Structure 1
Amino acid sequence: MQTSFEINSGEELTERQKDVLNAVLLLLVEEGDRLTMTAVARRASCSKETLYKWFGDRDGLLTATVQWQASKVRVASVDRSRLDMPSLTENLERYASDWLHVISSDTSIALNRVAVAHAGSDKRDLGAIVLENGRLAMGRRLKPVLLAGREAGLLAFDDAEEAFRTFFGLVARDVQIRLLLGDRLKPTDAEIDRDAAEATRQFLALYGAQTGAASADL
């Protein structure tokens, strides 16, 4: 299961570093884009020197925070020789469920609100960071699973990006935009699992192969 996260040095995050990134997320909820390295150091009970050593500058810290948040969406390793419809379905449902849990959390809502605000101003750093290390990175992680499904004759599509965008839309629907606009939507674990299963069912209805042959290569 691909659940680990590595900082720029290639070393896996320590529990102490995870504590720091969780502190960043909490501060974003409380203070928005007023977050500073001093405030993070104070909240995480560490020195600014340590923050700079681990993450570089503020953008490096924000990048690591977005990547840490995105890493909570699990993508199982795929054994292409043994992939079948039940295992593919389970993989997609887990991914969708994790995704819905992440985007409906207070921390992700706060992070995305700040990112959207930056995208509409001269402060474009966080918007670009969230796009590259959130949505785009998650697509890069799931597309190999979709391609493996196509190679196994389980899925039929011509473009992996288009297939992923369809899955993204079926999973997210209007949930994220409603939350960003202040809807106090609080789905339960059972509701999230149900929605994840339904999104996967709809996706397979659209892209499930009707024959054993896969589509043309990208």
Structure 2
Amino acid sequence: MTMAQAETQGEALTARQQAVLDAVLSLMVEKGSGLTMTAVARRASCSKETLYKWFGDRDGLLTATVQWQASKVRAGNYERQKLDSGALRESLKRFAANWLEVISSPTSIALNRIGISQAASREGNLGSIVLANGRFAIGERLKPVLDAGREAGLLAFDDTETAFRTLFGLAGRDVQIRLLLGDTLTLSKAEIARDAERATEQFLTLYGTAQNDPGRKTNNA
């Protein structure tokens, strides 16, 4: 599956297929890495033949599951040719909020724990699947927003990947590693919105231009 296809994975799935992938995620939360096609078919009330037809083998099912989870992380809608500071700010805030909501969910915590375990033991491919279809795919989804901001004169940076990683770090902070290690940290909707706004403002302080905020001088202007 190409990157463009991965970015629209959520929209391409039928409601029944989405329910199957949600069943995979719920099984991961409950049972960890002991996931079988039989268990998924039983939980989702469908046949194994249907699973193979839709997703191919077990890795295909896991890849689709990761893409489905990652598709929930999005930036806002905007017109590239008419991007202004308000639309850019809202797009970055939406991305940061979506990212925090997803990584703090029980399903993402379970998915990442299994992926890390398999990467360390080399007993499965979920680690590489999560990396390719999670972190890297999410980066490719946001980078066009950052590039559009630079083209509009609202952002100033030399390397898009570096700028993305900065926003990624500002939004996530230590939340994901704490949750993966068993911290009972709980983020409310209000806390996520606050943290997303703070990360966005910090990012714009680093990379925003005077055109983005005429009242503020920046080193990038």
Looking at structure 1, the residues matched to 190 and 77 of structure 2 have their Cα atoms a distance apart, in angstroms, of 25
- RMSD of Structure 2 on Structure 1 (CA): 1.6
Q: TM-score, normalised by structure 2?
A: 0.90
Looking at structure 1, the residues matched to 26 and 91 of structure 2 have their Cα atoms a distance apart, in angstroms, of 30
Give the alignment of 1:201-212 within 5 angstroms: 201-210=201-210
Per-residue deviation at 1:132? 0.2
Letter of the 2:121 counterpart: S
Contact 1:139 1:164 in 2 (8 A): yes
Looking at structure 2, the residues matched to 191 and 211 of structure 1 have their Cα atoms a distance apart, in angstroms, of 29
Q: Residues 13-67 of structure 1, C-alpha deviation per residue, up to 9 Å, x if partnerless?
A: 1000000000000000011110000000000000000000000000000000000
Looking at structure 2, the residues matched to 40 and 124 of structure 1 have their Cα atoms a distance apart, in angstroms, of 17
Q: Residues 153-175 of structure 1, C-alpha deviation per residue, up to 9 Å, x if partnerless?
A: 00000000000000000000000
Gaps of 5+ in 2: 1-5, 213-221
Looking at structure 1, the residues matched to 95 and 193 of structure 2 have their Cα atoms a distance apart, in angstroms, of 10
Contact 1:23 1:44 in 2 (8 A): yes
1:20 aligns with 2:20: yes
Q: Residues 176-195 of structure 1, C-alpha deviation per residue, up to 9 Å, x if partnerless?
A: 00000000011100000000
Match of 1:154, SS? coil
Looking at structure 1, the residues matched to 41 and 134 of structure 2 have their Cα atoms a distance apart, in angstroms, of 24
Letter of the 2:208 counterpart: G
Give the alignment of 1:34-73 within 5 angstroms: 34-73=34-73
Runs ≥4 residues deviating over 6 A:
none
Contact 1:78 1:148 in 2 (8 A): no
Q: Residues 176-218 of structure 1, C-alpha deviation per residue, up to 9 Å, x if partnerless?
A: 0000000001110000000000000000000002358xxxxxx
Q: Residues 108-136 of structure 1, C-alpha deviation per residue, up to 9 Å, x if partnerless?
A: 00000000001101224000000000000
Contact 2:70 2:133 in 1 (8 A): yes
Contact 1:4 1:12 in 2 (8 A): no
| Percentage identity across paired residues of the two chains | 67
Looking at structure 1, the residues matched to 211 and 87 of structure 2 have their Cα atoms a distance apart, in angstroms, of 18
Gaps of 5+ in 1: 213-218
Per-residue deviation at 1:80? 2.1
Give the alignment of 1:136-155 within 5 angstroms: 136-155=136-155
Match of 1:81, SS? helix
